[in-house]
Amino acid sequence: MLVLGIIITTIGTTFLFLGSLGLLRLPDVYNRLQAGTKCTTLGAFLTIIGVGIMQPDWLPKTLVIALFILTTNPISNHALGRASRKSGVSLCDKSVVDKANEFEGYKEKE
């Protein structure tokens, strides 16, 4: 049980590190949101579940925390992405298409 928990927690912390590396290296707010949302959600989920497996008495409460993060982290990052698009942050130079320009309220400000 302990070995399984250590393996899962190692995978989780590795995902946390990769997410923050992507946050540092990627060129754009929206690309950074990709790294900061997906990798960090999976990493935190696996880390917390791994602690719950290492200490089986704590499994219900760690499950509650992990499910809460799994639900709310994409919501808050989605709100941040929408806010940054509406406040007029432009895309990076290599972007090919920007469909949001066609909608009202999302037009690029000069």
Partner 1 sequence: MSEIIFLAIIGLAISLCLLRMLKGPTAPDRAVAVDTIATITTALLVLLAFIFERYVYLDVALVYAVLTFIGSVAIARFLEKGI
The site for partner 1 (CB under 8 A) is made up of 6, 9-10, 12-14, 16-17, 19-21, 23-24, 29, 32-33, 36, 40-41, 43-44, 47-48, 51, 54-55, 57-58, 61-62, 64-65, 68-69, 72-73, 75-77, 79-80, 82-84, 86-87, 89
User: In this complex, which beta carbon is closest to partner 1, that of residue 89 or of residue 100?
Assistant: 89
Among candidate residues 30, 6, 29, 32, the one with its CA nearest the CA of residue 21: 32
**DSSP line for 17-57:** HHHHHHHHH-SSHHHHHHIIIIIHHHHHHHHHHHHHHHSGG
Rounded to a whole number of angstroms, the minimum distance from the CB of residue 77 to partner 1 is: 6
DSSP single-letter state for residue 89:
P
CB nearer partner 1, residue 72 or residue 101:
72
